[in-house]
């Protein structure tokens, strides 16, 4: 029992480190977030972090794998199960706006921020962010393929290109809203993206 409590305590401390790093990287960026920033946020010693992680890069990998990736799987992973994947996709975008517009327009997208900052500088971190994009794209492709099989969108639709365009547009919407610090910019851009998605529908 004592061993289990100790393990749970260690797991909670590690999670605290990862969550703190996520918040700081979202606020300041990866490069400007230091180990000392994380220590100060959780009131810990340097040895605490190095007990769990070898470096700041290892912390960033954990942020991607344990915070960002599960979020994308949770948000985008089920829309294709709907009887109308296009409507479900638009509802997903609506939900993201309703639940996160204020934060997204202030801080930007955690995944997009990391890609812009580190994709050309660090191959290890870039591989991890690209894996999230690949998973995200696979969800979109699955939903669009289902829509094609159901006759909702044309049979000659280029599923991969449409999925890439949706991802690029989604991230671009958030980037523009962050630039303007405006939820209204995000709302308008998301509205245009939803019109594009609806335009894929036959008839």
- Provide the CA 173 distance to its chain's centre, in angstroms: 14
User: What are the pLDDT digits (tens) for 103-154?
Assistant: 999 999 999 999 999 988 999 999 999 999 999 999 999 999 999 999 999 9
User: What are the pLDDT digits (tens) for 141-197?
Assistant: 999 999 999 999 999 999 999 999 999 999 999 999 999 999 999 999 999 999 999
How far, in Å, CA of 123 to CA of 138, rounded? 22
Q: Which of 168, 62, 178, 59 is nearest to 109 (CA)?
A: 178
Q: Exposed (0-12), middle (13-18) or buried (19+): which is 83, by Cβ within 10 Å? A: exposed
- pLDDT given for residue 16 in this prediction: 95
Q: Which of 60, 56, 13 is nearest to 35 (CA)?
A: 56
Written as six digits, the tokens of 91 are: 């509802």
For 120, other C-beta atoms within 10 Å of its C-beta total 9
Mean pLDDT confidence for 68-79: 96
Q: What's the predicted TM-score (pTM) here?
A: 0.91
| Entry field: residues in the chain | 203
Pair 108, 174: CB distance under 8 Å: yes
At 44, the pLDDT band (50, 70, 90 cuts) reads confident
* Annotation: CATH topology of 56-199: Tetracycline Repressor; domain 2 (1.10.357)
């Amino acid at each position: 029992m004592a061993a289990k409590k100790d393990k749970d305590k260690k797991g909670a401390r590690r999670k605290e480190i990862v969550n703190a790093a996520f918040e700081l990287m979202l606020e300041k960026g990866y490069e400007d977030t230091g180990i000392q920033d994380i220590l100060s946020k959780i009131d810990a010693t340097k040895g605490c972090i190095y007990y769990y992680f070898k470096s700041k890069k290892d912390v960033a990998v954990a942020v991607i794998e344990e915070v960002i990736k599960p979020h994308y799987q949770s948000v985008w992973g089920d829309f294709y199960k709907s009887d109308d994947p296009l409507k479900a996709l638009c509802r997903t975008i609506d939900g993201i706006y309703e639940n996160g517009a204020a934060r997204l327009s202030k801080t930007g997208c955690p995944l997009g921020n990391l890609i812009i900052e580190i994709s050309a500088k660090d191959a290890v971190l870039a591989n991890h962010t690209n894996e999230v994009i690949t998973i995200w794209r696979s969800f979109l492709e699955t939903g669009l393929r289902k829509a094609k099989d159901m006759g909702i969108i044309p049979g000659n639709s280029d599923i991969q290109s449409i999925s890439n365009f949706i991802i690029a547009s989604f991230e671009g919407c958030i980037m523009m809203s962050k630039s303007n610090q405006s939820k209204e910019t995000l709302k308008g851009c998301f509205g245009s993206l939803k019109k594009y998605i609806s335009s894929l529908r036959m008839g």
